[in-house]
Amino acid sequence: MNDWKCLMIRKEPPMLKRQLHQKRCILFSLVAVLVVSAVGSGQAMAQIITAMIDNTGDGAGNSLLRPHGITVDAAGNVYVSGFFSSNAFKITPGGVITKIIDAAGDGAGHGLTIASGIAVDAVGNVYVTGVLSHNAFKITPGGVITEIIDVSGDGTGNILLFTEGIAMDGAGNVYVNGGNSHNAFKIT
């Protein structure tokens, strides 16, 4: 296995964080250029870094503030959740940015506050968690938004507080954790 050195350069002024232990990276904050070289292999690789989305979000007034979660589907679409903007975006391989959910949540009274975890399943459904709304949503490829779990958790006294992570398995089960309720749920 190769040991890697990573160099990321910030426009101005560079802030330096060093971790000198092998297999660690030297990081100069905001990415403008990334140069990666394999130590001892004599090989060097240069990679192009492209900004896909920034704080302007979709450019139509839906900003992206403190991007938190990111995932990619099989078609190459990238999904990003905005922690402080309480929303999530889809970015196509062609660069088209679309807001897929915002603070209104499902539009039926189940809002999204502090978007955190984001995941996508094999058929293109996107799942987003709301930390302070204590819930999670499913967004279908057609744009239908459904709240799949809320603060009541399993409904038997195991509540859900500070919903953060979300994942799914190959059988279509969804898993959600509650950071402050110190638990996790399986949704089938």
User: What is the mean pLDDT of the segment spanning 171-186?
Assistant: 97
Q: What is the pLDDT of residues 113-143, one digit of tens each?
A: 999 999 999 999 999 999 999 999 999 999 9
- Distance, in Å, from the CA atom of 167 to the CA atom of 162, rounded to the nearest integer, reads 16
Q: What is the pLDDT of residues 41-55, one digit of tens each?
A: 556 678 999 999 999
- Nearest alpha-carbon partner for 168 in 133, 115, 114, 123: 123
**What pLDDT, on the 0 to 100 scale, is given for residue 43?**
65
Q: What is the pLDDT of residues 22-31, one digit of tens each?
A: 333 333 333 3
Dihedral angle, C-alpha 150, 119, 173, 122, nearest 10 °? 140
Mean pLDDT of the chain: 83
Question: Is residue 66 scored above 90 in pLDDT?
Answer: yes
Q: Could you tell me the two tokens for 85?
A: 């903007």
Question: Is residue 109 scored above 80 in pLDDT?
Answer: yes
Neighbours of 5 (CB within 10 A): 14
